[in-house]
A and B are shown apart, each in its own frame.
Chain A
Amino acid sequence: MNNSSYNNNSRIIASIIDIPATGNDFGDFLKKIKGLPLIEIEIEADHIASIQDQGLIGDTRITVVLNYPLGGCQPDYILDSIRWARKQKIDIVCCGLPYFWMRSNEISNIADFITDLKKACGEKILRLAIESDELTLDEIFKICDLIEDAGIHHLQTSCGFAHNTNIETILNIQKKHHNLLLTIDNNLHGDSLEIDSLFKAGVDYVCIKEPWLYHF
């Protein structure tokens, strides 16, 4: 698997993050997504084993979220978590970026940390997650520069909890960083019109909560 592209053509990611991962709903969710052409299923670390037990994955990638959605974990712990995740059967690590350094203008710390994250991920794809509506455009561009410099191709611009990405931000990122693959979680359930409008704006992948509602 290379680090910049996926093997199937779907652009829909099933997000099972904020149920908040109730056991019963999780099983029900897996039944409902069976057979859907999903590019990824995004889960928390404790669900990796159970999702693999279901045997329904096919060519759908498994993404584990770490340091998510607040980006407030200790950096050493994040690296430990990624090393742990790498040993599991997952394809992608979606990792929240600590805002502390960005807000305190400690750019070299962020750059070093992104390099460490990339190294810890090894052959797994790394997608960095931010909350774009809490950052200035300059801050977003700085992050984009840093992740491109580190050879990372995936940026998630919102995590689907308290924050969304607006279309203007997508357009601005696309203009300046057109090689980045953008993923959005705007807490959408399956509204096809809304999701398609994000694709039209240039978003590459959209996380949704109820993908069986979308008109694939």
Chain B
Amino acid sequence: MKKLTEFQLAQSLDQTNLNPFLTYDEYVLFFEESRNLNFSSVAILPIYTQLAAKILNGSHTIVDAAISYPLGCVPAILKAKEVEHAVKFGAGEIDYVVNIAAIKSGSYKKVFDEAQMIISAANGKPVKAIIEMWNLSEEEVRATCEELIAAHVTYIKSSTAYKGYKNMREGTIDDALLLKKVVHNRAKVKIAGGIRDIDQVVKLLDLGVDRIGTSSGVRILDGFRRFYQNN
């Protein structure tokens, strides 16, 4: 493992909670815990943006709004509108789902135009473009990444990790290897889906992954502390 402090590790994690069925109080606890543990961001549904921004104000943790999540098949003009609302209410980063239907039908210009509209609406906030790698061929991954890089997205992210997709597979080391190879340092890389322990995180960081999306951030930090206590 590379030499890493707990703070640095926490700053590599987007602590994710996309459960729409929690109460106000449960979300308050989630945001307070995330702030206290210094996660890089909380990745949440946009409806919680304002509450999160209030609680996280002045901390090391920012609000990462999940836009057009999880389906992503809305016109770019609407996605951009959703981004504008999220930024207005305090989002510091944007995770948006790329129009997978456009990729599948070979409409790569649509992917590029959409990315540009999102970036413009984000008004300088980092933008992460989510491509469902489990649903794309390697050729489609390559072509999509080229469009997103040309549009200057900040991150390319492997998956929504949405459990409602019956045929979804979780993020893998192979996804990270492919994405790193294709992107080749022209954008940052975020991997998400099924990352639950410190060993997986260490492998991904060693591959040069820049950010990890996980709902298991607390467990991962616990694992990190145990590792250092035992070594």
Binding site for B on A (CB under 8 A): 17-27, 44-47, 68-77, 80-81, 84, 98-100, 103-104, 106, 131, 134, 161-162, 187
Excluding A24-B105, A69-B71, 5 further A-B contacts by CB distance (< 8 Å) are: A20-B132, A21-B100, A22-B105, A70-B69, A100-B20
B164 nearest in chain A by CB position: A161
| 28 A-B pairs with C-beta separation under 8 A | A17-B71, A18-B165, A19-B101, A20-B100, A21-B71, A21-B73, A22-B100, A22-B135, A23-B101, A23-B106, A24-B104, A26-B105, A70-B18, A72-B18, A72-B45, A72-B46, A72-B69, A74-B46, A77-B82, A80-B78, A80-B81, A81-B81, A84-B75, A98-B47, A103-B21, A103-B24, A104-B23, A162-B163
B163 nearest in chain A by CB position: A162
B106 nearest in chain A by CB position: A23
Q: Report A-chain residues with C-beta under 8 Å of the C-beta of B106.
A: 23
Select which of B27, B78, B101, B166 is within 8 A of A21 by beta carbon: B101
Q: Which of B68-100 contact A (CB under 8 A)?
A: 69-75, 77-78, 81-82, 85-86, 89, 99-100
B22 nearest in chain A by CB position: A103
Say whether B224 faces chain A, with CB atoms less than 8 Å apart. Answer: no
State the CA gap A75–B164 with chains docked (Å): 23
Q: Report B-chain residues with C-beta under 8 Å of the C-beta of A162.
A: 163-164
Q: Report B-chain residues with C-beta under 8 Å of the C-beta of A24.
A: 104-105
State the CA gap A46–B48 with chains docked (Å): 25
> Does B101 lie within 8 Å of A103, measured CB to CB?
no
> Does B20 lie within 8 Å of A70, measured CB to CB?
yes
Q: Report B-chain residues with C-beta under 8 Å of the C-beta of A22.
A: 100-101, 104-105, 135
Given A46-B75, A69-B164, A73-B45, A98-B20 contact (CB < 8 Å): yes
> Does B20 lie within 8 Å of A71, measured CB to CB?
yes
Q: Report B-chain residues with C-beta under 8 Å of the C-beta of A44.
A: 71, 73-74
CB distance from A165 to the nearest CB of B (A): 15
Given A22-B101, A103-B23, A74-B85 contact (CB < 8 Å): yes
Q: Give the total of B residues in contact with A, Cβ under 8 Å.
A: 44
State the CA gap A81–B164 with chains docked (Å): 23
State the CA gap A134–B101 with chains docked (Å): 29
Q: Report A-chain residues with C-beta under 8 Å of the C-beta of B59.
A: none
B50 nearest in chain A by CB position: A74
Q: Report A-chain residues with C-beta under 8 Å of the C-beta of B99.
A: 46
B132 nearest in chain A by CB position: A20
Say whether B185 faces chain A, with CB atoms less than 8 Å apart. Answer: no
B89 nearest in chain A by CB position: A74
Q: Report A-chain residues with C-beta under 8 Å of the C-beta of B107.
A: 23
State the CA gap A20–B99 with chains docked (Å): 10
Q: Report A-chain residues with C-beta under 8 Å of the C-beta of B207.
A: none
Q: Which of B22-61 contact A (CB under 8 A)?
A: 22-25, 27, 45-49
State the CA gap A68–B97 with chains docked (Å): 14
Given A72-B20, A99-B21, A23-B105 contact (CB < 8 Å): yes
State the CA gap A100–B45 with chains docked (Å): 11
Identify the 9 closest CB pairs spanning chains A and B, nearest first: A23-B105, A72-B45, A161-B164, A22-B104, A44-B73, A104-B24, A23-B104, A162-B164, A21-B101
Say whether B102 faces chain A, with CB atoms less than 8 Å apart. Answer: yes
CB distance from A159 to the nearest CB of B (A): 8
Q: Residue-by-residue, is B134-166 near A (CB-CB < 8 Å gives 1, otherwise 0)? A: 010000000000000000000000000011111
State the CA gap A70–B67 with chains docked (Å): 12
> Does A77 lie within 8 Å of B74, measured CB to CB?
no
